[in-house]
């Protein structure tokens, strides 16, 4: 490809809308342009990168035995009503009507359509197992789209759905996909980690997320360096602490005017934050519940929701009514409400908590003596240094970008939608199902987030829109340079290497800057002086300086580099 026949839309200045580095670079490099909130046009260069990702995903999915098809973006509401997701999905599901006032949705995923297909086509166990996938545009009306294509409303996802006669076979395919995803992200040159994830109400052994590790990631991942344990912090178990130490202090009420946070109270009393207990008031339906976590810990809403069901934070008025005290000074002592203590709190002695009287806290509080023994449960987020749940080592926490998710759906959809097959004994059985997603567009952003420098993007070769950039110095003035550039371009094309020849009448600095910005991994410079000596200059994107290579060795060198 020549730049004159292509579309380069690089920018020196950064649009004000961009917050994180991948978003800024994708705009500057001319990969994407925003059309509306969370909705982007993919320019030719960005599209090439997206297609490279798709190609790797497609190749590995096919290799793993999955079969590609394409399902519609616009789907009838009826199927969504059958699966109950019409009611369950909430405002993220974009709904609209056609001219006949019939309801439709813009697909966020395709469980309904594939299950509908399966119930029509897969009547016999002899057809199983089968795994269909497509790479298709998705729409989720995100509460807050941000970070460019990292969290956009419209995006491209590979979603696959497998159908099995029994659970054992689903588990086999699940492991197959775990391996396949590992291969895909490895091939894409990403630093990633597979982590155990929330299985929601479905249970089973199975849900793993694949996270690209990056500080800008929106998810927190807990892992043990001493083992292969890794889990989303939403899920990671905070292991039960040891036995409660004996009480030493007597309970005392101390004035703490204006000190409503654990941090302030601990500072005022000269005690470590770990001695304080934070009380969080929530409402579960009409019930007031007091949740207790240690002052330096954070409540885990997912764990709490699994424990007590859907809840919301109590209002000031509800707290006043239940405890006769305003927030900031509430605690379990004397409280005639349901109390759930994190297991760490349940094992504390001589702790500090609110006195249920404005302006006062209690010190030296002990369970059993000062307040009833609480119900203990795991309701906090793990923190660095917590013991790993598998007993091996201590947890560390890193941030990640979720780029893949595999899930054992079991019979949730097949039962809801009546998707059944006849087994060998002639009995009707609902399909065991798995689903497997990869965020194709998000991978492009995640790869940039992980690979960039001050000059721009540094693409892993499999994702780069072009593998090689050819920069001729004086293309329009110097016939030998032009001829050498054309020849190299043709030779690389013949070798199946995607090269971009910059034949614009630009100054060298502009061409260098653009090649660096758009992340081309390998660069060959052809100049009059080098040609006179029979050499070209080769430089990898990460190299500081280039090196001279005899002209005849350029193509073999690149073939070797691109292996």
Partner RNA sequence: CGGGGCGUGGCGCAGUCUGGUAGCGCGCUUGCUUUGGGAGCAAGAUGUCGGAGGUUCAAAUCCUCUCGCCCCGACCA
Residue 228 near residue 263 (C-beta atoms within 8 A): no
Query: Does residue 60 belong to the site contacting RNA (CB under 7 A)?
Result: no
Tokens for 427?
């009995």
Angle between helices 21-28 and 440-450 (to 10 degrees): 100
Residue 489 near residue 501 (C-beta atoms within 8 A): yes
Residue 549 near residue 537 (C-beta atoms within 8 A): yes
Binding mask 97-136 for RNA (x = CB under 7 A): ----------------------------------------
Structure-derived torsion over alpha carbons of residues 74, 76, 77, 79, reported in degrees to the nearest 10: -120
Q: Among 507, 534, 550, 556, which residue interacts with RNA (rule: CB under 7 A)?
A: 507
Report d(CA 225, CA 395) in Å as an integer.
7
- If the CB atoms of residues 86 and 313 are measured against RNA, the closer one turns out to be 313
Strands (E) located in 92-188: 94-97, 103-106, 130-139, 154-164
Question: Residue 46 is inside which H or E element, if any?
Answer: helix 44-63
Q: Which stretch binds RNA (CB under 7 A): 35-43, 132-140, 195-203, 390-398?
A: 35-43
Query: Does residue 423 belong to the site contacting RNA (CB under 7 A)?
Result: no
Min dist CB 53 to RNA, Å, is 23
Binding mask 285-304 for RNA (x = CB under 7 A): -------------xxxx---
In sequence order, the 6+-apart residues with CB closer than 8 A to the CB of 404 are 181, 184, 185, 209, 210, 436, 437, 438, 439
Residue 74 near residue 80 (C-beta atoms within 8 A): no
Query: Does residue 146 belong to the site contacting RNA (CB under 7 A)?
Result: yes
Query: Does residue 521 belong to the site contacting RNA (CB under 7 A)?
Result: no
Query: Does residue 338 belong to the site contacting RNA (CB under 7 A)?
Result: no
Q: Which stretch binds RNA (CB under 7 A): 339-347, 406-414, 473-481, 489-497?
A: 473-481
Query: Does residue 45 belong to the site contacting RNA (CB under 7 A)?
Result: no
Q: Among 4, 14, 252, 384, which residue interacts with RNA (rule: CB under 7 A)?
A: 14
Pairing of strands 154-164, 130-139: antiparallel
Query: Does residue 314 belong to the site contacting RNA (CB under 7 A)?
Result: yes
* Of 131, 196, 132, 217, residue with least CA distance to 442: 217
Q: Which of residues 476-495 bind RNA (CB under 7 A)?
A: 477
Residue 231 near residue 193 (C-beta atoms within 8 A): no
State the residue for tokens 């002052």.
Answer: 295
Q: How far is CA 253 from CA 103, 341, 359, 364, 450, in A?
A: 61, 21, 10, 9, 52
Q: Among 99, 100, 143, 336, which residue interacts with RNA (rule: CB under 7 A)?
A: 143
Min dist CB 256 to RNA, Å, is 10
Q: Among 5, 7, 36, 385, which residue interacts with RNA (rule: CB under 7 A)?
A: 36
- If the CB atoms of residues 112 and 357 are measured against RNA, the closer one turns out to be 357
Tokens for 420?
């059944």
Query: Does residue 11 belong to the site contacting RNA (CB under 7 A)?
Result: yes
Q: Which stretch binds RNA (CB under 7 A): 49-57, 239-247, 484-492, 506-514?
A: 506-514
Q: Which of residues 225-284 bind RNA (CB under 7 A)?
A: 260-262, 278-282
Query: Does residue 452 belong to the site contacting RNA (CB under 7 A)?
Result: no
CA atoms within 13 A on the CB side of 213: 13
Q: Among 128, 165, 327, 461, which residue interacts with RNA (rule: CB under 7 A)?
A: 327
Q: Which stretch binds RNA (CB under 7 A): 62-70, 76-84, 125-133, 142-150?
A: 142-150
- If the CB atoms of residues 246 and 509 are measured against RNA, the closer one turns out to be 509
Residues that bind RNA (CB under 7 A): 10-17, 19, 28, 34, 36-38, 143-147, 260-262, 278-282, 298-301, 313-314, 316, 319, 327-330, 354, 381, 455-456, 473-474, 477, 507-510, 512-514, 516-517, 525-530, 537, 539, 546
């Amino acid at each position: 490809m020549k730049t004159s026949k292509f579309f380069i839309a690089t920018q020196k200045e950064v649009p004000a809308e961009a917050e994180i580095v991948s978003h800024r670079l994708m705009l500057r490099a001319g990969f994407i342009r925003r059309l509306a909130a969370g909705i982007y046009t993919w320019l030719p260069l960005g599209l090439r990168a997206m297609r490279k990702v798709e190609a790797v995903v497609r190749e590995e999915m096919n290799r793993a035995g999955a079969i590609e098809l394409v399902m519609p973006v616009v789907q009838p509401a009826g199927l969504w009503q059958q699966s109950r997701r019409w009611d369950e999905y909430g405002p993220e599901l974009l709904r609209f009507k056609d001219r006949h006032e019939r309801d439709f949705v813009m697909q966020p995923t395709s469980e309904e359509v594939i299950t509908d297909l399966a119930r029509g086509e897969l009547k016999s166990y002899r057809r199983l197992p089968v795994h269909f996938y497509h790479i298709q545009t998705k729409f989720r009306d995100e509460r807050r789209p941000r970070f460019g294509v990292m969290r956009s409303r419209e995006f491209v996802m590979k979603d696959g759905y497998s159908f099995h006669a029994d659970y054992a076979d689903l588990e086999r395919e699940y492991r197959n996909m775990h391996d396949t995803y590992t291969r895909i992200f490895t091939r894409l040159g990403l630093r990633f980690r597979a982590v155990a994830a929330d299985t929601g109400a479905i249970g089973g052994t199975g849900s793993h997320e694949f996270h690209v590790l990056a500080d800008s990631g929106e998810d927190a991942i807990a892992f043990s360096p001493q083992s292969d344990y890794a889990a989303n912090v939403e899920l990671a178990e905070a292991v039960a602490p040891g036995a409660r130490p004996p009480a030493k202090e007597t309970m005392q009420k101390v004035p703490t005017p204006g000190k409503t946070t654990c941090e302030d109270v601990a500072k005022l009393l000269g005690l470590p934050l770990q001695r304080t207990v934070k009380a969080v008031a929530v409402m579960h339906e009409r019930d007031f519940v007091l949740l207790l976590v240690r002052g330096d810990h954070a409540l885990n809403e997912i764990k709490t929701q699994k424990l007590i069901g859907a809840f919301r934070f109590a209002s000031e008025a509800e707290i006043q009514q239940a405890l006769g005290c305003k927030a900031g000074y509430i605690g379990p002592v004397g409280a005639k409400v349901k109390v759930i203590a994190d297991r760490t709190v349940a094992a504390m002695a001589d702790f500090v908590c609110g006195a249920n009287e404005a302006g006062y806290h209690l010190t030296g509080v002990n369970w059993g003596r000062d307040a009833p023994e609480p119900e203990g449960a795991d309701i906090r987020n793990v923190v660095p240094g917590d013991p790993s749940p598998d007993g091996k080592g201590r947890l560390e926490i890193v941030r990640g970008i979720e780029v893949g998710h595999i899930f054992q759906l079991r019979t949730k959809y097949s039962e809801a939608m009546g998707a059944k097959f006849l087994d060998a004994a002639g009995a009707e059985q609902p399909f065991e199902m798995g689903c497997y997603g990869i965020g194709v567009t998000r991978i492009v952003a995640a790869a940039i987030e992980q690979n960039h420098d001050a000059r721009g993007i540094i693409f892993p070769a499999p994702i780069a829109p072009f593998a090689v950039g050819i920069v001729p110095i004086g293309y329009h003035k110097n016939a030998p340079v032009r001829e050498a550039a054309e020849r190299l371009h043709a030779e690389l094309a013949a070798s199946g290497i995607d090269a971009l020849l910059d034949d614009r009448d630009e100054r060298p600095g502009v061409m260098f800057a653009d090649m660096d910005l758009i992340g081309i991994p390998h660069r060959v410079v052809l100049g009059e002086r080098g040609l006179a000596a029979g050499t070209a200059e080769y430089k990898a994107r990460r190299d500081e300086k280039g090196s001279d290579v005899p002209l005849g060795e350029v193509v073999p060198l690149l073939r070797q580099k691109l292996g």
